[in-house]
Structure 1
């Protein structure tokens, strides 16, 4: 997955997708950041789809 501007160079890896007790689906993901030992986040699936777009496999 690749993020749109302003972090267009950030390529992320989805680590986990789950459905919470309230029925909402969430996504946990990480990205490479040479300044940190770990860089990652989680968000609701609908926010994730608005923020990131799939990049074609090469």
Structure 2
């Protein structure tokens, strides 16, 4: 029987950055402000699948 269940609570590991590591991370992953939410992403369409028809009204 496997006793390593990922759903069971385990040891919590806290990782802290030094100030130098934090500044280096921010330089590598900058937060870029946007005027509005990016709406250009669309769900990919599957080839050959018809959209569902609405029933009722």
Higher alpha-carbon Rg: 2
Both proteins in one fold, TM over 0.5: no
User: TM (normalized to structure 2)?
Assistant: 0.23
User: TM (normalized to structure 1)?
Assistant: 0.22
Which of 1 and 2 has higher RCO (CA within 8 Å, sep 6+)? 1
Which one has a larger percent helix, Structure 1 or Structure 2?
2
